[in-house]
């Protein structure tokens, strides 16, 4: 439900739709505030070659990728993953990671390794450093309130 606040009559806010929209916004802001605590510095999207027909499967695939890369590179990361449903009913994932404990040159190598392994395992993906942490947290929190979604917050240690 997209709402242009400039066009909303005052009486709309007391309707069920208006209250539901406000509640959704409050939850989104709360999620974004929660995610802020973790200082994530990396953003990623995984779109699967073989469609994931459930949110749980999409998140499980992302977890498998993170564990595989961490094991191969002998690194530990904090990660948050959320599934998003495509219009065709299949799912892909968005995620946030914290790689700040790694030296700069190693962090770049880790992003390359994530991208390469994700491409081999699943297909199209992207991994990038976070430039605007508020925008990224807001974007990710949108999927936590858009529809029922699976999500995972974990610390993968080697």
In the chain, the number of structural domains is 1
Q: Is 35 helix (H, G, I), strand (E, B) or coil?
A: helix
Q: How far apart are CA 96 and CA 78, in angstroms?
A: 8
Does 22 map to a domain? no
pLDDT exceeds cutoff 80 at 2: no
Cα-based angle 113, 116, 117 (whole degrees, multiple of 5):
85
Report the pLDDT value the prediction gives residue 128, as an integer from 0 to 100: 80
Q: Give the CATH number of the domain where residue 122 resides.
A: 3.30.70
Question: What's the sign of the alpha-carbon dihedral 21, 22, 23, 28?
Answer: positive
Who has greater pLDDT, 86 or 4?
Answer: 86
Does 42 map to a domain? yes
Does 8 map to a domain? no
Q: Is 3 helix (H, G, I), strand (E, B) or coil?
A: coil
Report the pLDDT value the prediction gives residue 5, as an integer from 0 to 100: 61
Q: What is the mean pLDDT of residues 55-61?
A: 93
pLDDT exceeds cutoff 80 at 13: no
Whole-model pTM above 0.75? yes
> In this predicted model, what pLDDT tens digit does every residue of 91-148 receive, in sequence order?
999 999 988 667 666 777 788 888 888 888 888 888 888 888 888 888 888 878 777 6
Task: Please name the helix (run of DSSP H) or strand (run of DSSP E) that holds residue 91, with its range, or none.
Answer: strand 91-98
Q: Are 35 and 110 in contact (CB under 8 A)?
A: no
pLDDT exceeds cutoff 60 at 3: no
- Which domain covers residue 40, as residue numbers? 34-156
């Amino acid at each position: 439900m997209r709402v242009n606040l400039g066009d909303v009559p005052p009486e709309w806010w007391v309707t069920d739709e208006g209250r539901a929209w406000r509640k959704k916004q409050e939850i989104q802001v709360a999620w974004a505030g929660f995610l802020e605590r973790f200082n994530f510095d990396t953003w990623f999207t995984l779109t699967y070659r073989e469609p994931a027909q459930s949110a749980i499967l999409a998140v499980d695939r992302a977890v498998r990728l993170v564990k595989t890369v961490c094991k191969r590179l002998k690194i530990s990361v904090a990660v948050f993953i959320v599934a998003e449903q495509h219009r065709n009913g299949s799912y892909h994932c968005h995620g946030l990671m914290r790689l700040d404990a790694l030296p700069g040159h190693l962090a770049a190598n880790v992003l390359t390794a994530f991208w390469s392994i994700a491409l081999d395992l699943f297909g199209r993906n992207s991994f990038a450093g976070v430039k605007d942490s508020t925008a990224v947290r807001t974007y990710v929190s949108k999927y936590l309130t858009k529809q029922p979604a699976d999500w995972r917050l974990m610390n993968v240690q080697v």
